[in-house]
Structure 1
Amino acid sequence: MTAALTLIVGALLSVLSPPAASAAGPVPAPAGLTATEVSFQGFGGLTLRGTVLAPQKARGPLPGVVLVTGSGSGVPREYLLTEATEFARRGLAVLIYDKRSAGYTQFRRSYSELADDALGAVRELRAQPGVDPAKVGLWGLSEGGWVAPLAASRSADAAFVIVVGGNAMTPIRQQVWNESSGLRRAGVSGSLIDRGKRNFARLGADADLFAEAFHDAPGVLERVRQPVLGIWGGRDLQTPPEDNPPLFARALRRGGNTHYTFRFFPEADHGVHETPDRGLTRGDALAPGYADLVGSWVRDVTSGRLPDADTAPLPEQDYPSVAIAPSPWWASVWMQTAALALFVVAFAGYPLAALARRLRGRTVRPVSRWAGLLAGAGLTAAAGLVFYIFYLMAAGRYPDPGPVLAGRPLPWLALQGLAAAAVCAGAATAVSWRRAAGSVPVAERVRLGLLLTAGAVFVPWAVYWGLLVP
């Protein structure tokens, strides 16, 4: 049972990975730029390969920036080629590299290891001819927005930090907001989002299947001493663009760092690319002015012109994100596994035992016809909830919850109806048993006792998951 639950909760790890190219390798030099192939050591001595793009006609040592990509295993350097090309054309030396696949899977990832990889890239770029080693910093996209600050907090080699679509909240909070927003766009509201999806995410983290779910982003930012540039797209559908900047500011200020700049591009997507459909699709081009901002800001901060808490008005996001704590002990993966095991044994066992007796020619009149409804409705509701939320998790950002009525998908309404029927049937069965207590055979008492025990456990379980909540 635990293994089955583990596989189901593994759907939580359908985190938004950028599309990977078919193969990683050398990058040809774009017009007006040079391309230098490099290799360096990352965490655990792993050799990582990358490319440094720089202007062909550079005057004096250049500032440099290492680009740290978003989530996904083995993301090739070409994924950030547009950013690298545009930044290099603004006078920067830019290192892009193939992300590790070793030690990075749907079931395991380590921001600490990725941060060590990024610092290895910083050391390599600092050593490149024509690069000013005192002016090399880090740029992180999405997941890289957790990794780049962590790397900078560990080493003064990084002169600055840029985060794009970054989060100063836990990954589980960001991911639940991301997936819940997809449901809200489909017209869904209520307990499916507030309890079902949120608690399923916590269950995944409890089972150690949601890697880095409670990464302490504010704690890391408190240790960052370098100037920070935060950039968000107003059409970001993956990271809450209104909630995160104040969280960044508070964490940086707690650490005594007021050298930050926050800017927003209203019509840009998660990666600050142009988007033709309000963030659903990533366009090829960067948002107008984005590359200019990065180039000018890096030149300013590496020349000693540091910003002082410079932020633009926040963009508006459609739905707020919600802080998510780890599961309490009574809702842990072990307790959930025990509850599901009880439901299977009791709810499925009740009719199966009756069938076995009929096959042996021993018929016992049931205490109440309601007992069969309790068994059938309870088992269907429990199994249906697990598989329906699993389906929604696997669908990621673009779920199809089915027809929606008054904010509730019809499959969810059906599960809620079954849960209510199970509760009513349980109460009716208990009343009938009490009235007929003296005439109930011992074997039937055991069977009914187990069934009613499962029915009693089902009530708080269904409330927790939202089946008995509007």
Structure 2
Amino acid sequence: MKNRKPAFALFLMAFALSVPLFSQQISRDLFTAMGAYRLPDSSFAMIGMIEDLPVIIFQDGSIRGLRKSGKTYEIGNALGLFDQIEGTVEFGRKKSGLVIVRDGNTQTGARIPLSQKDLDFRNGEIQLHGTLILPEGNGPFACVVMTHGSGPEKREASLGLAGLFAGNGIAAFIYDKRLVREMGDKWQDDSFQHYAEDAVAAARILAREPAVDPSRIGIFGHSQGGWVAPLAASQSDLFKFVIISAGNAVSPVEQHLWSGTRANRQDGVREDIIREIYDFRKIKYKAGITGDSSEYKAALPVAMQKPWFRRTGGNLPTGAFWKLNGYYDPEPALLALKCPVLVMGGESDNHSNTAENMQKFKEIFQRSGNNRLTFKVFPSADHGYFETATGKFMETELRELKRFVPDYFDTLVEWTRVVTSN
């Protein structure tokens, strides 16, 4: 493919967190400037968002916060720190270019144009809404369907990865999680099965798009999407490849039990106490999900007298997500996959047990006979692929983060290029 660009530079932040960590008001001026810019040395800079904080992302993966100062924006010394100003960014008229002054050097950049097309589609009685992000040039292009993480996720949460793919010659389709816009605050989670059916419906409409090559449609799933993407691909041969990012080869209950155990261990809780907490939480999940609370009622009075009770997670998990998906078994869907699969994880992920998940993924695929597999674990990477010391990027570290881990986005794009070129 001609004019290939380094993948890292064309990333606009995709991981939207559920709780705002920054209160800075984003100006319309900066909002309209978001996108990718090509610099004279053939490197790139991205203007984007991490949570509600504006950032500039450089080709080497470094991230710096942006703060308005007159007609320019100051470049901070980390994602959310401005105690040292490293430079400035100023945007041209109509946001067609920018000027970066940093480390004593001045660089001008021209915006990289990407096109988009809104597409509405249906899964049975459910109306769904999406946007196809297209690269420069003429198609038909390979295309990645972007599934969702947890919560009421809108298509904007995947805009960054869509920009990454489209900037590297691969179309991407982003869409709202079912009923998110229609239900607003009354939205409730649905089953992985319904989410998978929605993704298949998206692939069907994309296969009819002139700009999309129907023989090169794949699916990407990060976190919760790591359960949904393989399930969708197991039910439709429209998907020719699958990308699992920070996903799990175990049930949501098992994943959450492990995450809680890891947090307790990091806090220095004794191993015998950790085991007691684990056993009680397991009983809680069973009661909340199945409705059989006899064991829970017997264990609760004893647990409430323990100093560790506050670590057991509050109310019973009786919400729609847990009822529908808590004991979901990903193995049958993984066994059914015969297409190329990329499985990625972060070594410092506090939300998923990367080491054990990778081993389980490998065991399942070995039994399936699928040998078109790639596994990649990124050292020092947390659940969002930030380079981290503790993995607690959502709890304590986000402001101090300075970069994404090397090679994550390059691996993502280059692998997709290879499997879609054959």
**AA at the equivalent of 2:343:** G
With over 3 angstroms needed to count, the CA separation of the structure-2 counterparts of 1:18 and 1:119, relative to structure 1, is farther
Conserved? CA contact 1:144–1:166, under 8 Å: yes
**AA at the equivalent of 1:88:** A
With over 3 angstroms needed to count, the CA separation of the structure-2 counterparts of 1:160 and 1:28, relative to structure 1, is same
With over 3 angstroms needed to count, the CA separation of the structure-2 counterparts of 1:242 and 1:41, relative to structure 1, is same
Conserved? CA contact 2:350–2:382, under 8 Å: yes
- 1:53-80 Cα offsets, whole Å, 9 max, x none, are 222235x53211011121112x112212
CA shift for structure 1 position 106: 8.8
Conserved? CA contact 2:146–2:173, under 8 Å: yes
Q: 1:235 is matched with which residue: 348, 361, 376?
A: 348
User: Distance between the aligned counterparts of 1:99 and 1:226, measured in 2?
Assistant: 25
Aligned match of 1:65: 144
User: Distance between the aligned counterparts of 1:27 and 1:251, measured in 2?
Assistant: 45
User: Distance between the aligned counterparts of 1:156 and 1:20, measured in 2?
Assistant: 37
The alignment status of 1:132 with 2:213, answered yes or no, reads: yes
Conserved? CA contact 1:33–1:54, under 8 Å: no
Conserved? CA contact 2:115–2:135, under 8 Å: no
User: Distance between the aligned counterparts of 2:225 and 2:377, measured in 1?
Assistant: 18
* Structure with more of its chain in strand, by fraction: 2
Q: 2:178 is matched with which residue: 94, 100, 123?
A: 100
The alignment status of 1:19 with 2:18, answered yes or no, reads: yes
Conserved? CA contact 1:167–1:244, under 8 Å: yes
Aligned match of 1:51: 131
Aligned match of 2:234: 153
Conserved? CA contact 2:337–2:370, under 8 Å: yes
Q: 1:119 is matched with which residue: 181, 188, 200?
A: 200
Aligned match of 2:393: 280
Matches within 5 A, 1:20-39: 31-39=111-119
Aligned match of 1:79: 157
Count of aligned pairs = 285
Decide which structure has the larger Cα Rg and report it.
1
User: Distance between the aligned counterparts of 1:235 and 1:134, measured in 2?
Assistant: 36
CA shift for structure 1 position 267: 2.0
Aligned match of 1:265: 378
* Structure with more of its chain in helix, by fraction: 1
User: Distance between the aligned counterparts of 2:205 and 2:261, measured in 1?
Assistant: 40
User: Distance between the aligned counterparts of 1:213 and 1:17, measured in 2?
Assistant: 23
User: Distance between the aligned counterparts of 1:108 and 1:133, measured in 2?
Assistant: 30
Q: 1:217 is matched with which residue: 293, 310, 330?
A: 330
Q: 1:179 is matched with which residue: 260, 263, 266?
A: 260
With over 3 angstroms needed to count, the CA separation of the structure-2 counterparts of 1:186 and 1:193, relative to structure 1, is same
Aligned match of 2:277: 193
**AA at the equivalent of 1:52:** L
With over 3 angstroms needed to count, the CA separation of the structure-2 counterparts of 1:27 and 1:165, relative to structure 1, is farther
- 1:97-134 Cα offsets, whole Å, 9 max, x none, are 11124699897520110001111222233333332110
Paired residue secondary structure (2:393): coil
User: Distance between the aligned counterparts of 1:88 and 1:67, measured in 2?
Assistant: 13
User: Distance between the aligned counterparts of 1:70 and 1:100, measured in 2?
Assistant: 13
Matches within 5 A, 1:70-469: 70-73=149-152, 75-101=153-179, 108-188=189-269, 189=271, 190=273, 191-207=275-291, 209=319, 210-211=322-323, 212-275=325-388, 278-281=391-394, 286-304=404-422
Conserved? CA contact 2:151–2:189, under 8 Å: no
User: Distance between the aligned counterparts of 1:40 and 1:99, measured in 2?
Assistant: 13
With over 3 angstroms needed to count, the CA separation of the structure-2 counterparts of 1:77 and 1:108, relative to structure 1, is closer
CA shift for structure 1 position 270: 1.1
User: Distance between the aligned counterparts of 2:388 and 2:130, measured in 1?
Assistant: 28
- 1:410-448 Cα offsets, whole Å, 9 max, x none, are xxxxxxxxxxxxxxxxxxxxxxxxxxxxxxxxxxxxxxx
Runs (5+) with no aligned partner, structure 2: 1-14, 26-31, 37-110, 292-317
CA shift for structure 1 position 277: 5.0
Runs (5+) with no aligned partner, structure 1: 1-15, 305-470
User: Distance between the aligned counterparts of 1:242 and 1:130, measured in 2?
Assistant: 39
With over 3 angstroms needed to count, the CA separation of the structure-2 counterparts of 1:217 and 1:185, relative to structure 1, is same
With over 3 angstroms needed to count, the CA separation of the structure-2 counterparts of 1:173 and 1:27, relative to structure 1, is farther
Paired residue secondary structure (1:65): strand
**AA at the equivalent of 2:418:** D
**AA at the equivalent of 2:167:** R
Percent identity at matched positions?
Answer: 33
CA shift for structure 1 position 83: 1.6
With over 3 angstroms needed to count, the CA separation of the structure-2 counterparts of 1:135 and 1:107, relative to structure 1, is closer
User: Distance between the aligned counterparts of 1:241 and 1:115, measured in 2?
Assistant: 23
Aligned-CA RMSD value: 3.0
